[in-house]
């Protein structure tokens, strides 16, 4: 076993929105941060084949439930934000307040860090416009959605958001990772953290696999941000056995219709939508990349439709599912949709069909189910305190796993706000520590093992 003797102030495990935010904000204040990322940090090419190793590998980035429902995540620098659609739903501030967590200040501060505004009309192509107009005509409370997109960099008739935007138009967590690296952070990619090292009920470092060898790295603060599936697995191996149970994963379906004369099937997905808050349903336009549509259609044996792309309007229905299930020790997901979950998907699909019919669509059909946003596996109020700290001192969690209850909407704004709040807490705690008697601080610190240093990658995309 090899080790990494460091003078890092913090180790961040994972580089999605939570980990990247913490790393960025800590390095802005001069802290030395090591980021350990299981995936790659290769350039985003915006192609299907470059996305496959990041997001479509069975047993790694895609895991299946017993109901044959795939749960998808991206394992790469930036996490699932690299393949998300860049939709910025406001964080549930009141819900977090009910658990003793106030992110209202951070929710405002993040607006200076990321783009958050509806798309200009010229970037809404034919499909999204047809959805928006038909829904409005029927009296739905449809509105444009805020997007993590820089319009000046965005391309019309493009649908590469889910392949990793190659133009830099869509914000993803790599933007924050790159800022952290510019401020002195270090990143090791292809480094899979197995467990946190605990001594005297305090986190002192992590153990990770890199290039088929086991390494250890040490720091006085450990932030686990490996996602709704990855984080509970790491915590279980670190002595928090109850992580990974009773979670949500926001199941969704697509409802398709063919509208003669609609034209090119390319468009930015989730340009506008309807939120049925009381029903726990969200409905949006969702123009898929061609290869992804083919895959979804072949999954339900729609052989003819699989190769029809122009004139097709897809509508996404996503629902707030009930808490249930477990993440197994090998990283698979054991969770069944409940009767209530299925009823929500059915109800949302009926709304979508109504909108498609009103828009003049024919050949209407529904896709198989898929899930995104696995979360609530390391909940605030159960396994974490209001500062996202576990039962072990110096060990924190910051990603979708910390959500205290089901949510049903994209969680990115919540995670960024939580990351900013956690960084403030860590910086404030560090100031308190620095005011202590140096002899006391030295006595509290755990010695670092002398051993070989692992390679450190500092390249910035």
User: pLDDT at position 435, please?
Assistant: 60
Q: 54 vs 28, 78, 347, 399, 402, CA distance in Å? A: 29, 11, 33, 18, 23
| CB proximity list for 200: less than 8 A, separation 6 or greater | 446
User: pLDDT at position 449, please?
Assistant: 35
- CB distance 311 to 260 below 8 Å: yes
**Cα separation, 55 vs 154, whole angstroms:** 23
Residue 374 CA neighbour count, 13 Å, CB half: 35
User: pLDDT at position 265, please?
Assistant: 85
Take residue 260 and report the two structure tokens written for it: 């003669």
- CB distance 412 to 17 below 8 Å: yes
User: pLDDT at position 427, please?
Assistant: 97
pTM (predicted TM-score): 0.92
- CB distance 433 to 442 below 8 Å: no
Take residue 9 and report the two structure tokens written for it: 């102030």
**Cα separation, 232 vs 135, whole angstroms:** 40
CB-CB neighbours of 157 under 10 Å: 14
**Cα separation, 453 vs 25, whole angstroms:** 26
User: pLDDT at position 264, please?
Assistant: 84
**Cα separation, 337 vs 383, whole angstroms:** 24
User: pLDDT at position 429, please?
Assistant: 84
User: What φ, ψ does residue 416 adopt, rounded to 5°?
Assistant: -60, -45
**Cα separation, 253 vs 259, whole angstroms:** 19
User: pLDDT at position 21, please?
Assistant: 99
Take residue 454 and report the two structure tokens written for it: 């692992």
| CB proximity list for 352: less than 8 A, separation 6 or greater | 255, 283, 315, 317
**Cα separation, 34 vs 139, whole angstroms:** 51
Query: What tens digit of pLDDT does each residue of 419-442 get?
Result: 999 999 999 987 766 665 454 444
Alpha helices in 11-154 (DSSP H): 17-28, 48-55, 93-97, 104-109, 126-137
Q: Strands (DSSP E) along 166-232, which ranges?
A: 186-188, 191-199, 202-210, 213-218, 222-224
Burial 213-236 (b: 16+ CB within 10 A, else e): eebbbbbbbbbbbbbbbbbbbbbb
User: pLDDT at position 458, please?
Assistant: 34
Alpha helices in 61-100 (DSSP H): 93-97
Take residue 237 and report the two structure tokens written for it: 């191996």
Domains assigned to the chain: 1-41+76-114+171-243+376-461 (3.50.50.60), 58-73+117-163+249-372 (3.30.410)
Positions in the chain whose pLDDT score sits under 70:
1-6, 432-461
Q: 91 vs 87, 174, 299, 405, 434, CA distance in Å? A: 12, 21, 34, 13, 34
Take residue 387 and report the two structure tokens written for it: 């500062």
Q: How far is CA 381 from the centre of its chain?
A: 21
């Amino acid at each position: 076993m090899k080790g990494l003797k460091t003078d890092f102030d913090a180790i961040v495990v994972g580089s999605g929105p939570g980990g990247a935010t913490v790393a960025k904000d800590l390095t802005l204040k001069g802290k030395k941060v090591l980021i350990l990322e299981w995936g790659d940090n290769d350039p985003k090419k915006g192609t299907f084949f470059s996305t496959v190793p990041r997001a479509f590998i069975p047993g790694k980035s895609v895991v299946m439930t017993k109901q044959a429902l795939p749960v998808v995540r991206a394992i790469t620098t930036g996490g699932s934000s690299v393949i998300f659609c860049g939709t910025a739903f406001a964080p549930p501030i009141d819900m977090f307040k009910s658990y003793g967590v106030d992110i209202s200040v951070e929710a405002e501060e993040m607006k200076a860090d990321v783009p958050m505004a509806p798309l200009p009309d010229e970037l809404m192509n034919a499909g999204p416009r047809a959805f928006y107009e038909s829904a409005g005509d029927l009296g739905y409370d449809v509105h444009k959605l805020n997007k993590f997109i820089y319009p000046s960099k965005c391309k019309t008739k493009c649908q590469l958001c889910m392949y990793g935007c190659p133009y830099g138009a869509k914000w993803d967590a790599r933007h924050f990772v790159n800022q952290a690296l510019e401020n002195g952070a270090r990143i090791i990619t292809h480094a899979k953290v197995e467990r946190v090292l605990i001594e005297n009920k305090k986190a002192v470092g992590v153990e990770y696999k890199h290039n088929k060898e086991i390494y250890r790295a040490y720091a006085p603060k450990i932030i686990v941000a490996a996602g709704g599936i990855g984080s509970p697995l790491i915590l279980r191996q670190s002595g928090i056995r109850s992580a990974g149970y009773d979670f949500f994963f926001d199941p969704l379906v697509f409802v398709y219709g063919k509208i003669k004369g609609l034209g090119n099937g390319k468009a930015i997905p989730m340009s506008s939508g309807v939120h049925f808050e009381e029903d726990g349903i969200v409905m949006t336009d969702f123009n898929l990349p061609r290869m992804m549509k083919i895959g979804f259609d072949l999954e339900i044996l729609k052989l003819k439709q699989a190769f029809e792309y122009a004139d097709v309007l897809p509508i996404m229905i996503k629902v707030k599912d009930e808490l249930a299930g477990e993440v197994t020790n090998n990283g698979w997901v054991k969770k069944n949709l409940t009767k209530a979950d299925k009823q929500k998907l059915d109800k949302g699909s009926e709304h979508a069909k109504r909108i498609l019919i009103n828009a003049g669509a024919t050949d209407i059909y529904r896709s198989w189910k898929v899930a995104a946003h696995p979360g609530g596996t390391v909940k605030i109020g159960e396994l974490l305190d209001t500062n996202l700290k576990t039962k072990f001192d110096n060990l924190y969690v910051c990603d979708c796993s910390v959500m205290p209850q089901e949510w049903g909407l994209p969680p990115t704004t919540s995670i960024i706000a939580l990351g900013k709040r956690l960084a403030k807490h860590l910086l404030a705690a560090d100031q308190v520590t620095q005011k202590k008697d140096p002899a006391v601080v030295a006595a509290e610190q755990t010695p670092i093992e002398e051993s070989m240093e692992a390679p450190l990658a500092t390249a910035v995309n």
